Amino acid sequence: MVVIMLGAQGTGKGTVAGLISQETKWPQVSTGDIFRKNISEKTELGIEADKYISKGNLVPDTITIPMVKDRLKEQDVKDGVILDGFPRTITQAEKLDEMLSKEGKKVDLVINLTTPMEEIIDRIITRRVCTNQECKATYNTKLHPPKIEGICDKCGSPLKQREDDTDPEAIKRRLEIYEKQTSPLVEYYKNKGVLRTELVSVTANHLGKDVADEVLADINKK
């Protein structure tokens, strides 16, 4: 089964995807993680991706699509996958359809999460992530702080703030680009009949676990 999480950074899609992954045992495939892995390993695609990410711009399809294509060939996504951060454009969605079709698969469910821009910016600035790439737990110093400041509850590794989470103006540019280039995907998947249209708002009062439970109910129906 292929599940897609749509939503700008800070809407909680990574948290929700992680909770769904824990229950289903399907891997959470995040383009952000793919980018960071390639950047840290200084691969050719990673070096190119970093030129865009550091300026708050979307990474072009010529870099993103090959990275995702390689990831979807790995054995652990055979039974199911939760795509977090991909696709971001109609072109990427069409390419994804082509990739899946060749494997006899299709997109089964799309979840769209939205949050006001002011709240998103505050969430991103106060976000902290586990430095252990095997863990990848995410915290928020206001909404979901770790039990011990700066330390991951799950694995005990140090937490850090991502470099691209420190500049409010760069965050705002990312959100504006998202709205312009990615919001048409909502209509694209609505027309395909796979969009979970009633689940479109996530706020501080609508916690990640509540959202994940709703999504899991949809998955069980399918």
CB atoms within 10 A of CB 169: 9
Catalytic residue list contains 196: no
Rounded Cα–Cα distance for residues 13 and 3 (Å) = 12
Cα dist from 9 to 75, 88, 97, 218, whole Å: 28, 12, 23, 23
Catalytic residue list contains 13: yes
From 71, 95, 123, 127, active-site residue: 127
Say how far residue 52 (Cα) sits from the centre of its chain. Answer: 17
From 36, 71, 88, 123, active-site residue: 88
Catalytic residue list contains 162: yes
Catalytic residue list contains 71: no
From 73, 78, 162, 209, active-site residue: 162
Tokens, residue 208: 């990640």
From 95, 123, 174, 196, active-site residue: 174
Rounded Cα–Cα distance for residues 37 and 205 (Å) = 33
Looking at the annotation, which residues are catalytic? Answer: 13, 88, 127, 162, 174
